[in-house]
Amino acid sequence: MDHETFMRAAIALSQKNVDDGTGGPFGAVVVRDGEIIGEGTNQVTSANDPTAHAEVVAIRQACERLETFNLEGCVVYTSCEPCPMCLSAIYWARLDRIFYGNTKVDAAKIDFDDDFLYREIPKPISERNIPTEQLLRDESIAAFDAWAKSEIKVPY
């Protein structure tokens, strides 16, 4: 597998996104067995979707194409070190490996600074910037109990 070729594909997507004005300078491809099965660019502003980062878009496309939520056996190439959301999506999708171009420090230099999130996540809930309060746990736990007992669930 030619890693540089796939990384260049992700970089080309990031540059095209800048040229087209359709989102931030980020591109990603998901590859399985030497074939691109998903590609994405940052579409946050064009899709009005704060979750439409390049990696997430590429993962969604790969999952749709393969008709699965499990991307074991796949690799992601992304033009920038994944943000916390994208890194989580990569882990949830069970990708085997990550290759990236720019660093989070490079991203911060052009006002894409995820450092706040990296500092926010480990804080106790009561100390986070967005007030968070548990509500109706006794009622919401019923769905968890039903899931635990379900014989038709698909574990993931």
Distances (CA, A) of 121 to 23, 45, 57, 80, 129: 26, 25, 23, 20, 10
Give me the catalytic one of 35, 39, 55, 151. 55
Paired residues of 55 in beta bridges:
none
Contact partners, residue 59, CB within 8 Å, separation at least 6:
30, 38, 40, 71, 76, 89, 90, 93, 95
Q: State the first-to-last Cα distance of the chain, in angstroms, to the nearest integer.
A: 29
Do 58 and 40 form a contact (C-beta atoms < 8 A)? yes
**Residue 39 known to be catalytic:** no
Residues recognised as catalytic: 55
